[in-house]
Amino acid sequence: MTQPSFHNLEKTIGIHFKNKDLLAQALTHRSAVRQSKVGGHNERFEFLGDAVLELIATEHLFSMGQKSEGEMTNLRSALVNRENLASVAKDIKLGEYLFISRGEERSGGREKDSTLANAVEALIGALYLDQGFDATQTFCHEFILTRLNQLMALGKDRDEKSLFQEKAQEVEGVTPHYDVIEEEGPDHDKTFTCAVFIGETKVATGCGNSKQKAEQAAAKAALKKKGWK
């Protein structure tokens, strides 16, 4: 199994990495770590890229004017969520450059939204390490932040938890609540499963690498189950 050439990817994003090993590891899925020549997978890069992207998005939204904290939080969530980042990955054909195992490939790993979104975050982390904040900010503006108006037009700035709460209060007169029902993995790499309840009734569950993301995933599943979105 050989690592794909990144020439076309670098051409697409207009950036040439000084250290190709950083880019290679950022695009190495954990399923392929044993075959990787770079000695690791991309989850640490994903962790860094997530934080860098949040800072860049926050700074951008803050500079837009007098938006409330709640408005900025929802807009930032729309920009950095899995759906939007996976769409970015598809636009730049990032899935073609992922180093994944044959089993992951057979299961459609190159097209999974979670894998693609994580790869975008990892790419941002690698870019930050390779070329610093300014170059990373330029990339994020060109490929992610420019989607803001489109996301707002589609109502994507309304996060699922807020929408589900509004609908639950409107339709059933009850405020939903969330409980963590499972935690897996070591402290530095936990996966949380949260359930959302209306009264005593469990409506849906969701998973994520933080409680907040798991709650959002549960709310999204609950909206679909209830037919409220």
Q: How many percent of the chain have pLDDT more than 70?
A: 95
pLDDT band at 35 (very low <50, low <70, confident <90, very high): low
Contacts of 53 (CB under 8 A, 6+ apart): 80, 121, 124, 140, 144
Distance CA 169, CA 15 (A): 48
Single out the catalytic residue among 104, 121, 130, 159: 121
19-44 burial, b at 16+ Cβ within 10 Å, e below that, comes to: ebebbbbbbbbbbbbeebebeebbbe
Do 76 and 57 form a contact (C-beta atoms < 8 A)?
yes
10 annotated active-site: no
121 annotated active-site: yes
pLDDT at 1: 44
pLDDT band at 65 (very low <50, low <70, confident <90, very high): confident
Q: Kindly tell me if the per-residue pLDDT of 159 is higher than 80.
A: no
Contacts of 135 (CB under 8 A, 6+ apart): 15, 127
Q: Look at the alpha carbons of 203, 205, 211, 216 in this order and tell me if their dihedral is positive or negative.
A: negative
Q: Euclidean distance between the first and final Cα of the chain, in Å?
A: 43
Q: What residues pair up with 156 in beta bridges, in sequence order?
A: none
pTM value is 0.71
Do 193 and 180 form a contact (C-beta atoms < 8 A)?
yes
User: How far is C-alpha 162 from the chain's CA centre?
Assistant: 19
Q: How many percent of the chain have pLDDT more than 90?
A: 69
3-state secondary structure of 29: coil
pLDDT at 2: 47
The model's pLDDT over 204-216, given as tens digits with 9 standing for 90+, comes to 999 998 898 899 8
User: How far is C-alpha 219 from the chain's CA centre?
Assistant: 16
Single out the catalytic residue among 50, 159, 160, 215: 50
pLDDT at 158: 75
The model's pLDDT over 66-101, given as tens digits with 9 standing for 90+, comes to 788 878 888 998 899 999 999 999 999 999 999 988
Domains and CATH numbers, the chain: 7-153 (1.10.1520.10), 160-226 (3.30.160.20)
Mean pLDDT of 156-175: 88
Question: Mean pLDDT, the chain, as a whole number?
Answer: 91
pLDDT band at 156 (very low <50, low <70, confident <90, very high): confident
Q: What is the 8-class DSSP label of residue 187?
A: G
